[in-house]
Copies of this chain bind each other. A is one copy, B any other.
Amino acid sequence: MPNPKKAGLPPGTLVHVGERKIEKVKITIIDYGEAQFQEKEAKTVEECFPFKDEPTITWINIDGIHEVDIIEKIGNHFNIHPLLLEDICHTEQRPKMEDFEDYIFVVLKMLYYDEKENGVNAEQVSLILGSNFVISFQESEGDVFNPVRERIRSGKGRIRRMGSDYLAYALIDAIVDNYFITLEKIGEKIEDMEEELVTNPTPATLQTIHNLKRDMIFLRKSVWPLREVVSGLERGESALVHESTRIYLRDVYDHTIQVIDSIESFRDMVSGMLDVYLSSVSNKMNEVMKVLTIIATIFIPLTFVAGVYGMNFQYMPELAWRWSYPLILLLMVGIGISMVIYFRGKKWL
């Protein structure tokens, strides 16, 4: 939900908007070229500054965005527009890509399936792609970028031979790959629900369907704009993205479309589940009504007959007859049986 905390402040004022998810801001620097590699954790933000002018590729990763002065210092040193710094600190951004000639700014959403809360959570990731550096901002320390780190460390694959644009691609790719994990979790949950729907639907099922629907609305809002972001990078005019990287971005774009397709399919499925739920509630009610109707329509007439012969009139000749009691009992059995046959004919039994 949008946050009005900042309404009224001049644009470019840095205020952290969002939950504080980490205690202390952690800055890690990975600097590499085809031949060299260096990794360190920076104690002060100033340690990052010298890397700006080195020819090697530098990846500065900042976990925690609640200390706005750190963001501000980096912004000043790397000449980042104040509005972007504001966006970085404000965790309710819509995914977007902005091209400022000297650098490209990308905001993405990282998605987690939170088993405890049984729902999808998001975390904002901002990337600044310069000609020889990438700065990434995360809300908390995550393990989603670890495979990328590992690839840089080991020198496996293309990553050490390519530029900063490939690094940015690798990070975006890691995030999009992570979506598949979240989607798989949701897919499993939907399958569970579908079984539950058939075997034992309860009002709690409805609540879960409703929650799934909200998750879908949330996912959709987080992922749809990504399409434009990635295609903006791929088809953009920016000199920062090399031709050789574009084909990789096209691959990410395909994945994004796949994610969107899956979300849309899930939405359709969840809508269908609601229909099935409502129908099965109707069916159950129908069944309840049938039982009531069968019992009532068999016994109400019988009770009436019994009532008639319970009347205390003095002149009721049948009462004195020898065989009237067994005959009445037979009559009752007859009424009962014919009712049952009638219900069979109606397919209610």
Contacts and interface: CB of A to CB of B under 8 A. Distances in A.
A207 B198 contact: yes
A324 B187 CA distance: 63
A121 interface: no
A141 interface: no
A183 interface: yes
Contact of A309 (B250, B258, B268, B313): B313
Given A304-B303, A311-B325, A324-B313, A292 B285 contact: no
Q: How many copies does the complex hold?
A: 5
Contact of A289 (B8, B258, B285, B313): B285
Interface stretch (A47-55, A209-217, A233-241): A209-217
Given A1-B184, A281-B282, A292-B293, A210 B276 contact: yes
A314 interface: yes
Interface of A: 1-4, 6-13, 81, 83, 87, 92-94, 96, 98, 146-147, 151, 156-159, 170, 173-174, 177-181, 183-184, 187, 198, 200, 203, 206-207, 210, 213-214, 217-218, 221, 247-248, 250-251, 254, 257-259, 261-262, 264-265, 268-269, 272, 274-286, 288-293, 295-297, 299-304, 306-316, 318-325, 328-329, 332, 347-348
15 contacts: A2-B258, A2-B262, A8-B147, A10-B158, A96-B254, A288-B293, A288-B348, A289-B289, A292-B293, A296-B297, A310-B312, A313-B324, A315-B322, A315-B325, A316-B325
